[in-house]
Amino acid sequence: MVDEINSARDDAERDQLPDGSMEPQSPQEADNTDYGLMKGARVKNMDLQQEMRESYLAYALSVIVERALPDVRDGLKPVHRRVIYAMYDGGYRPDRGYNKCSRVVGDVMGKYHPHGDSAIYDTLVRMAQSWSMRYMLVDGQGNFGSPG
């Protein structure tokens, strides 16, 4: 019995690295150290199709809930809120003169919505169309589309 304990202790000491950590026991653990993963990290074998299916579904649901559907409190999407706040922050008020859409779009894109100007411009145009929203949120000047 004593010999078995000593043999196990000798094996453990042999597997121990100079810094006191243990050598990787499996080929997967050995691969982790070769690629600079954290010590003790494990690579999980997964079916790629299943992982993509689950990850994409989770991402799609979060986009629908957080961005695509209007908020029940005020009926606005996040991009509407960003445009309105940028117009308020930039001093674009009803008692002042008209400004170009590109100025508002640039302010929104530069400060609050760094994803491209087409979605912001489309939102700004829709907010100025009487047939697009129940209440026009922006007083547009010029050509803001036609209902037909």
Q: Provide the residue-wise pLDDT of the chain in tens; the chain has 148 residues.
A: 545 545 545 554 554 555 555 555 555 555 544 555 667 777 788 888 988 888 898 899 888 888 888 888 888 888 899 999 999 999 998 888 888 888 999 999 999 877 788 889 988 988 988 888 888 888 888 777 666 5
Query: Does the predicted model carry a pTM greater than 0.95?
Result: no
Give the count of alpha carbons within 13 A of 116, CB side only: 3
CA 136 to chain centre: 30
- Angle (CA) 143-145-148 rounded to 5° is 140
For the record, the structure tokens of 103 come out as: 């100025």
Angle among Cα 103, 98, 133 to the nearest 5 degrees reads: 85
